């Protein structure tokens, strides 16, 4: 091998096994969440569903567990919920007790997370309830169709249908869209779709640890594997979910993996992640791509947070800060 070839040889870095203690640099509430996650069981490949029926059973169990948090959230963050159809898509309109009459001209659309398989039905509103409470605005939580029965483009089509209906009689600039994980990716996919159709874009976006690269190439998929207490490994479940969702379109389609899309002309966007987040790199890459495209973008990184932990550690001051930052961002950028 000559010197020039040696210079370009790529060497992988070997990292020894180590124990991650609960950090003292975060609130007691977040410390408790981190500790609880450390004792939670990990999903292993041999336990992953293989057939459509096995996936349906897996989803049903996970969704029931997520839905069981609804009474707790209702007690902590009072609200009313109206289940209805918009453009043939089931949605839940969340009206918080903290509703601010001065913001009556604004509304938020939430696209929930869950890898495009999980958190459907009654499990779909956790982030929407928190977003409504901290923003003082009504939130329309979209219960979009998901894999395995409805792979891409069903979710994008449902989000688009709701967007068209909501903005038919109001200024699109007064509507914000937010979502976490797959919901963050879907928020970007919706905006890319609107841009391709020449339709008005939202007034602002909020992306929580968005899943923007379903190929699994981002650095933190490896760096934060088994460090993240919620989305512990891309290879254990993420890769399977990505394939189920993408279907025949493939994971490099920009409406499946928005990092491969063009963000030029996008509305102001706030992005949220944490130092233990397996999608830290997805979030950073989306932020850097937006900045390179001239988009007004703001990146918020939280100490020791795993993937979407600001939703699950809902009683922590860090969660209040994360949602408060998003609320202030929408206040600043939405018309009305």
Per residue in 140-175, pLDDT (tens digit) is: 999 999 999 999 999 999 999 999 999 999 999 999
Percent of the chain with pLDDT over 90: 93
Q: How many domains in the chain?
A: 1
* CATH number, position 110: 3.40.50.1820
Q: Which of 111, 145, 114 is nearest to 131 (CA)?
A: 111
291 in a domain, yes or no?
A: yes
317 in a domain, yes or no?
A: yes
9 in a domain, yes or no?
A: no
Q: Which of 187, 5, 169 is nearest to 87 (CA)?
A: 169
At 328 the three-state DSSP class reads: helix
User: In the block, which residue shows the tokens 């399977």?
Assistant: 240
User: In the block, which residue shows the tokens 């009683």?
Assistant: 315
pLDDT in tens, 235-276: 988 999 999 999 999 999 999 999 999 999 999 999 999 999
315 in a domain, yes or no?
A: yes
Residue 6 in this model has a pLDDT that exceeds 90: no
Give, rounded to a whole angstrom, the gap between the first and last alpha carbons of the chain.
65
Cβ pair 319, 130 in contact under 8 A = yes
Cβ pair 276, 95 in contact under 8 A = no
Task: For residue 7, name the pLDDT band (cuts at 50, 70, 90).
Answer: low
Report the chain's mean pLDDT, rounded to a whole number. 95
275 in a domain, yes or no?
A: yes
Residue 74 in this model has a pLDDT that exceeds 90: yes
pLDDT in tens, 23-37: 999 999 999 999 999
241 in a domain, yes or no?
A: yes
90 in a domain, yes or no?
A: yes
Residue 297 in this model has a pLDDT that exceeds 70: yes
215 in a domain, yes or no?
A: yes
How many angstroms separate the CA atoms of 307 and 114, rounded? Answer: 11
Task: For residue 39, name the pLDDT band (cuts at 50, 70, 90).
Answer: confident
| Token digits of residue 328 | 């202030």
136: left (phi over 0), alpha (psi -120 to 50) or beta: left
> What is the domain extent for residue 302?
25-36+43-333
Residue 40 in this model has a pLDDT that exceeds 90: no
Q: Give bridge partners of residue 176 from the DSSP assignment.
A: 108, 204
**List of long-range contacts for 16-20, beta carbons under 8 Å, 24+ apart:** 20/227
Question: Residue 42: what pLDDT?
Answer: 63
Task: For residue 3, name the pLDDT band (cuts at 50, 70, 90).
Answer: low
Query: What average pLDDT score do residues 123-138 get?
Result: 98
Query: What average pLDDT score do residues 297-302 get?
Result: 98
Task: For residue 291, name the pLDDT band (cuts at 50, 70, 90).
Answer: very high
How many other CB atoms are found less than 10 A from the CB of residue 121?
16
């Amino acid at each position: 091998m000559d010197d020039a070839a040696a210079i370009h040889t790529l060497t992988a870095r070997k990292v020894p096994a180590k124990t991650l203690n609960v950090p003292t640099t975060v609130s007691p509430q977040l410390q408790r969440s981190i500790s609880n996650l450390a004792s939670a069981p990990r999903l292993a490949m041999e336990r992953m569903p293989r057939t459509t029926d096995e996936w349906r059973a897996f989803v049903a169990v996970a969704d029931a567990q997520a839905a069981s948090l609804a009474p707790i959230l209702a007690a902590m963050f009072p609200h009313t919920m109206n289940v209805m159809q918009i453009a043939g898509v089931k949605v839940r309109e969340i009206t918080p007790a903290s509703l601010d009459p001065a913001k009556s001209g604004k509304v938020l659309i939430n696209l929930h997370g869950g890898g495009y398989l999980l958190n459907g039905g009654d499990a779909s509103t956790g982030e929407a309830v928190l977003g409504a409470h901290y923003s003082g605005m009504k939130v329309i939580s979209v219960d979009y169709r998901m894999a395995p029965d409805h792979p891409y483009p069903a979710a994008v089509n449902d989000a688009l249908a709701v967007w068209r209906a909501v903005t038919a009689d109001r200024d699109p600039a007064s509507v914000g869209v937010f979502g976490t994980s797959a919901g963050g990716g879907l928020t970007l996919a919706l905006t890319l779709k609107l841009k391709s159709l020449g339709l008005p874009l939202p007034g602002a976006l909020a992306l929580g640890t968005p899943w923007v690269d379903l190929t699994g190439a981002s650095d933190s998929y490896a760096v934060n594997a088994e460090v993240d207490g919620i989305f512990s490994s891309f290879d254990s479940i993420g890769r399977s979910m990505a394939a189920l969702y993408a279907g025949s379109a493939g994971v490099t389609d920009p409406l499946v993996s928005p990092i491969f899309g063009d963000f030029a002309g996008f509305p102001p966007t706030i992005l949220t992640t944490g130092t233990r987040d397996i999608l830290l790199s997805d979030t950073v890459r989306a932020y850097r791509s937006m900045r390179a495209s001239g988009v007004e973008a703001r990146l918020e990184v939280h100490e020791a947070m795993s993937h979407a932990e600001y939703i699950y550690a809902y009683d922590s001051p860090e969660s209040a800060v994360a949602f408060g930052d998003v609320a202030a961002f929408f206040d600043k950028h939405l018309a009305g």
